[in-house]
Amino acid sequence: MLRPQQPVGWPHARGFLGLGTAALAGGLLATAAGPSQAASGNYEAMLVNCIDPRFTTLSWQYMGLLHGIARDKLADNYSQFVFAGGPVGAIHPKFAAWHNTFWENLDITVSLHHIPRVVALTHRDCGAAKLAFGDAKVATKEEETTPMQKP
Protein backbone atom coordinates (compact mmCIF):
# COMPACT_ATOMS: atom_id res chain seq x y z
CA MET A 1 0.00 0.00 0.00
CA LEU A 2 1.21 3.51 -0.80
CA ARG A 3 2.33 5.47 2.23
CA PRO A 4 2.39 9.15 1.26
CA GLN A 5 4.32 10.20 4.36
CA GLN A 6 7.35 8.24 3.17
CA PRO A 7 9.54 10.26 0.81
CA VAL A 8 10.30 8.76 -2.57
CA GLY A 9 14.10 8.66 -2.95
CA TRP A 10 14.54 9.16 -6.70
CA PRO A 11 16.64 7.93 -8.49
CA HIS A 12 17.17 5.01 -6.11
CA ALA A 13 15.56 1.74 -7.12
CA ARG A 14 13.38 1.88 -4.04
CA GLY A 15 12.07 5.26 -5.14
CA PHE A 16 11.35 3.93 -8.59
CA LEU A 17 9.29 1.16 -7.05
CA GLY A 18 7.51 3.78 -4.97
CA LEU A 19 6.50 5.66 -8.11
CA GLY A 20 5.25 2.42 -9.64
CA THR A 21 3.19 1.75 -6.56
CA ALA A 22 1.77 5.26 -6.71
CA ALA A 23 0.77 4.83 -10.35
CA LEU A 24 -0.83 1.48 -9.58
CA ALA A 25 -2.72 2.91 -6.61
CA GLY A 26 -4.00 5.75 -8.80
CA GLY A 27 -5.20 3.24 -11.37
CA LEU A 28 -6.99 1.21 -8.74
CA LEU A 29 -8.68 4.27 -7.31
CA ALA A 30 -9.94 5.21 -10.75
CA THR A 31 -11.64 1.86 -11.17
CA ALA A 32 -12.79 1.36 -7.60
CA ALA A 33 -15.78 3.73 -7.50
CA GLY A 34 -18.19 3.32 -4.63
CA PRO A 35 -20.74 0.57 -4.95
CA SER A 36 -23.78 2.79 -4.48
CA GLN A 37 -23.15 5.93 -6.53
CA ALA A 38 -22.40 6.78 -10.13
CA ALA A 39 -20.52 9.81 -11.47
CA SER A 40 -23.82 11.63 -11.56
CA GLY A 41 -26.67 11.26 -9.12
CA ASN A 42 -27.89 12.73 -5.87
CA TYR A 43 -25.22 13.57 -3.34
CA GLU A 44 -25.28 15.42 -0.03
CA ALA A 45 -23.02 18.43 -0.45
CA MET A 46 -19.91 20.08 -1.82
CA LEU A 47 -17.31 21.05 0.77
CA VAL A 48 -15.20 24.13 0.02
CA ASN A 49 -12.15 24.12 2.23
CA CYS A 50 -8.54 25.21 2.48
CA ILE A 51 -5.43 23.45 1.22
CA ASP A 52 -3.91 23.58 4.71
CA PRO A 53 -2.77 20.02 5.42
CA ARG A 54 -3.40 20.40 9.16
CA PHE A 55 -7.15 20.15 8.60
CA THR A 56 -7.77 17.24 6.27
CA THR A 57 -8.99 14.88 8.99
CA LEU A 58 -10.77 17.62 10.92
CA SER A 59 -12.70 18.76 7.86
CA TRP A 60 -13.89 15.20 7.27
CA GLN A 61 -14.90 14.99 10.93
CA TYR A 62 -16.71 18.31 10.66
CA MET A 63 -18.73 17.04 7.72
CA GLY A 64 -19.91 14.20 9.97
CA LEU A 65 -21.34 16.75 12.40
CA LEU A 66 -23.60 18.44 9.87
CA HIS A 67 -27.24 18.49 10.76
CA GLY A 68 -29.22 16.09 8.64
CA ILE A 69 -26.34 13.95 7.41
CA ALA A 70 -25.66 10.73 9.27
CA ARG A 71 -22.00 9.83 9.40
CA ASP A 72 -22.59 6.49 7.71
CA LYS A 73 -24.28 8.37 4.87
CA LEU A 74 -21.33 10.71 4.47
CA ALA A 75 -18.69 8.34 3.11
CA ASP A 76 -18.18 8.95 -0.62
CA ASN A 77 -21.27 11.12 -0.63
CA TYR A 78 -19.95 14.68 -0.91
CA SER A 79 -17.47 16.38 -3.21
CA GLN A 80 -14.67 18.71 -2.28
CA PHE A 81 -13.35 21.88 -3.80
CA VAL A 82 -10.03 22.63 -2.17
CA PHE A 83 -7.91 25.70 -2.69
CA ALA A 84 -6.02 28.19 -0.56
CA GLY A 85 -8.37 29.78 1.94
CA GLY A 86 -11.35 27.67 0.85
CA PRO A 87 -14.30 30.10 0.84
CA VAL A 88 -11.91 33.05 1.26
CA GLY A 89 -10.32 32.08 -2.05
CA ALA A 90 -13.77 31.77 -3.62
CA ILE A 91 -14.86 35.34 -2.91
CA HIS A 92 -12.02 37.64 -1.85
CA PRO A 93 -10.74 40.06 -4.53
CA LYS A 94 -7.15 39.05 -3.70
CA PHE A 95 -7.90 35.73 -5.43
CA ALA A 96 -10.11 37.07 -8.24
CA ALA A 97 -8.35 34.94 -10.84
CA TRP A 98 -9.76 31.83 -9.13
CA HIS A 99 -13.39 32.89 -8.89
CA ASN A 100 -14.55 31.68 -12.32
CA THR A 101 -13.02 28.28 -11.68
CA PHE A 102 -14.91 28.01 -8.42
CA TRP A 103 -18.29 29.06 -9.86
CA GLU A 104 -17.94 26.90 -12.95
CA ASN A 105 -17.00 23.93 -10.77
CA LEU A 106 -20.01 24.60 -8.54
CA ASP A 107 -22.27 24.73 -11.61
CA ILE A 108 -20.99 21.35 -12.78
CA THR A 109 -21.32 19.90 -9.28
CA VAL A 110 -24.93 21.03 -9.03
CA SER A 111 -25.69 19.67 -12.51
CA LEU A 112 -24.04 16.30 -11.97
CA HIS A 113 -24.53 15.67 -8.28
CA HIS A 114 -27.74 17.61 -7.49
CA ILE A 115 -26.29 18.75 -4.18
CA PRO A 116 -28.68 20.52 -1.79
CA ARG A 117 -25.93 22.43 0.03
CA VAL A 118 -22.45 23.90 -0.11
CA VAL A 119 -20.41 23.75 3.08
CA ALA A 120 -17.81 26.53 3.31
CA LEU A 121 -15.21 25.72 5.92
CA THR A 122 -12.45 28.02 7.12
CA HIS A 123 -9.95 27.65 9.92
CA ARG A 124 -7.86 29.69 12.32
CA ASP A 125 -4.31 30.73 11.41
CA CYS A 126 -5.06 30.52 7.68
CA GLY A 127 -2.22 31.75 5.48
CA ALA A 128 -4.59 32.69 2.67
CA ALA A 129 -6.79 34.71 5.06
CA LYS A 130 -3.66 36.57 6.19
CA LEU A 131 -2.86 37.38 2.57
CA ALA A 132 -6.42 38.49 1.89
CA PHE A 133 -7.25 40.46 5.04
CA GLY A 134 -3.85 41.28 6.51
CA ASP A 135 -2.08 39.89 9.56
CA ALA A 136 -3.93 42.16 12.01
CA LYS A 137 -7.34 40.77 11.00
CA VAL A 138 -6.31 37.24 11.98
CA ALA A 139 -3.88 38.04 14.82
CA THR A 140 -6.24 37.00 17.62
CA LYS A 141 -9.20 34.68 18.03
CA GLU A 142 -11.46 37.70 18.52
CA GLU A 143 -10.25 39.36 15.32
CA GLU A 144 -10.63 36.13 13.33
CA THR A 145 -14.16 35.67 14.63
CA THR A 146 -15.22 39.21 13.71
CA PRO A 147 -16.95 39.26 10.35
CA MET A 148 -14.45 40.31 7.73
CA GLN A 149 -15.21 43.05 5.29
CA LYS A 150 -13.91 43.46 1.81
CA PRO A 151 -10.83 45.68 1.80
**Nearest CA among 134, 132, 137 for reference residue 147:** 137
Interaction of residue 44 with Zn ion, rule CB under 5 A? no
- Pick the closer one to Zn ion by CB: 28 or 58: 58
Interaction of residue 52 with Zn ion, rule CB under 5 A? yes
**Nearest CA among 142, 119, 120, 138 for reference residue 129:** 138
**How many residues contact Zn ion, by CB under 5 A?**
4
Minimum separation from the CB atom of position 133 to Zn ion (A): 12
Interaction of residue 50 with Zn ion, rule CB under 5 A? yes
| Rounded CA Rg of the chain | 18
Backbone angles phi, psi at 55, to 5 degrees: -120, 15
Question: CB under 5 A: which stretch of 16-24, 36-44, 95-103, 125-133 binds Zn ion?
Answer: 125-133
Q: Which residues, numbered 65-84, are part of the site for Zn ion (CB under 5 A)?
A: none
Strand order, beta sheet including 118-120: 78-82, 45-49, 118-120
Give the interface with Zn ion as residue ranges (CB under 5 A): 50, 52, 126, 128
